[in-house]
Amino acid sequence: MIEMNKRLMVFYVLVLLSILLFVSLKSTVAATVFSDNFPSGNFDRWSKSQVVSGASQTVSGGIARFIVPTPIAGSNSCSYLIRDGFTSTVNSIIVASQDILVTKVPNGAPQGNGAIFFLYVCDSTDLAGNAGNIGIGIDGSNVWSMWLGGDLVYTYVFQTEGSQPISNTWYHIALTVNNQAQTAVLEVNDLVVINASQQQFTDRTHPLSLMSGMGENWWSDGSGQQEIDITNVQLYLSDSTVIPSPSSTLVPFSPFNSGSSSPFPTHAPTDTPNITALPSFSLPPLHPISPPSSGADMLFGLAVMGAIILVVLMVGLVAVFRHKRSE
C-alpha cells in the first residue's frame, strides 16, 4: 500500500507539473502577436502602406528604410506601414517596440515645433487619432516625445529623463500602454524617458493597428529629405490569443476615413532648425532582438505539450491498472 501511494504521488506531481508548464507556455505565446526584422527583404508581414509623392520604402539587409521629402512649412510628409487585426481591451498591456536610426535628429527649434513620429498604436477605425492614438517621436527641440490623441483632444508630452537622441545612432525604443493602470511609458535602451497617463484605450475594446515608419515629418528643414532606418519591430498583447495573418498583398490606402481629417498638430513645423550631423548608414543595431516564434511554431509547441500531458496520464493509468490486477 505504501508503494502504491508513492506511485500515485509521483503520478499526480508529474501531471501537475505538465499542466503548469502547458499554461505557462500558452500565456507566453499569447502575448506575442507580431514581429518583423524584414528577413524576406519585403513588407509581406504588413497589411497596408502609405507613401506620399517623393517618398520611398525599401528593405536591405534586414533593415527597412523610409525616406520622405522635407515638408513645406505648415505641412507634413510620410512613408509608413500598418499592421491591422489586433484588439485592445480595458485589461490589455500593449508593448510596441523597434530599433531605429534617425539620420538627422530634429533640433534647433522651440519645444513643441518640428517633430517627427515613427511608431504608433492606434484605433483601426480612425487612424487620424480621434478614436485613440499614441505615437512616439522626436521633437524639434531634440527630445523624445509622445503624442496622445483621442476624442479630438491631443496631448503632446516631452522627455523628462535620460539622454537626448543623437543623429545616426541606433536606439531600441519600447512603448508600453497599460490600460488597467492608465499609463503610457516610453523606454529608450531600457531606460524610461517618458511616463504619462493615458485614457485613449481604457474606455472600451478597440480594434488595434500598429504603425511603423516615418508616420509624420513636420520638420521643415531636413536638407531636402529625412530618413529613418527600422528593424526588429514587435508587438505584444497581454490578453491576446489570436495571431492574425496579414493581407496577401500590401495595399496603398488613405490614412484617414471619409469625413475625417488629420488633426492640426500643436507642433507646427519650423523653418530654421540647425543641422550639424551628416548621414551614415553603416552602423549595426544597438541591441537587436531575436524575433518571437511564428504562429506555426507556437501551435507546434502547444501540440507537443498536449502530447506530453496525454502520455503522462496514460502511463499513470496503466501503472494504476497493473497494480490493481496484482492485488
| Average pLDDT over every residue of 240-248 | 55
| Average pLDDT over every residue of 49-60 | 91
Predicted confidence (pLDDT) at residue 265 exceeds the cutoff of 70 = no
Predicted confidence (pLDDT) at residue 145 exceeds the cutoff of 70 = yes
Q: For residue 143, what pLDDT band results from cuts at 50, 70 and 90?
A: very high
CA dihedral 40, 41, 45, 47 (to 10 degrees): -150
Q: What confidence tens digit (pLDDT) does each residue in 126-140 have?
A: 877 778 899 999 998
Predicted confidence (pLDDT) at residue 246 exceeds the cutoff of 60 = no
| Residue 112 near residue 139, CB atoms below 8 Å | yes
| Average pLDDT over every residue of 81-99 | 94
Q: Which long-range contacts (CB under 8 A, 24 or more apart) does 160-165 make?
A: 160/193, 160/194, 160/195, 161/191, 161/192, 161/193, 161/194, 162/188, 162/191, 162/192, 162/193, 163/188, 165/102, 165/105, 165/138
Predicted confidence (pLDDT) at residue 314 exceeds the cutoff of 50 = yes
| pLDDT at residue 267 in the model | 32
| Average pLDDT over every residue of 219-226 | 72
Nearest to 219 by CA among 146, 264, 278, 274: 274
| pLDDT at residue 109 in the model | 82
Q: Of residues 321 and 75, which shows the higher confidence score?
A: 75
Q: What confidence tens digit (pLDDT) does each residue in 284-306 have?
A: 333 333 333 334 444 445 555 66
Predicted confidence (pLDDT) at residue 308 exceeds the cutoff of 90 = no
Predicted confidence (pLDDT) at residue 249 exceeds the cutoff of 50 = no
Range with lowest mean pLDDT among 18-27, 256-265, 291-300: 256-265
Q: What confidence tens digit (pLDDT) does each residue in 146-169 have?
A: 989 876 667 889 999 999 999 999
Q: For residue 70, what pLDDT band results from cuts at 50, 70 and 90?
A: confident
Q: For residue 31, what pLDDT band results from cuts at 50, 70 and 90?
A: confident
| pLDDT at residue 231 in the model | 96
| Average pLDDT over every residue of 231-241 | 89
| pLDDT at residue 180 in the model | 93
> Of the segments 6-10, 192-196, 256-260, which one has the largest average pLDDT value?
192-196
Range with lowest mean pLDDT among 116-120, 152-156, 175-179, 245-249: 245-249
| pLDDT at residue 278 in the model | 27
| pLDDT at residue 177 in the model | 95
- Beta-carbon contacts of residue 121 (< 8 Å; ≥ 6 apart): 88, 94, 96, 133, 134, 175, 177, 208, 209, 210, 211, 235
Average pLDDT value over all residues in the chain: 74
Predicted confidence (pLDDT) at residue 53 exceeds the cutoff of 50 = yes
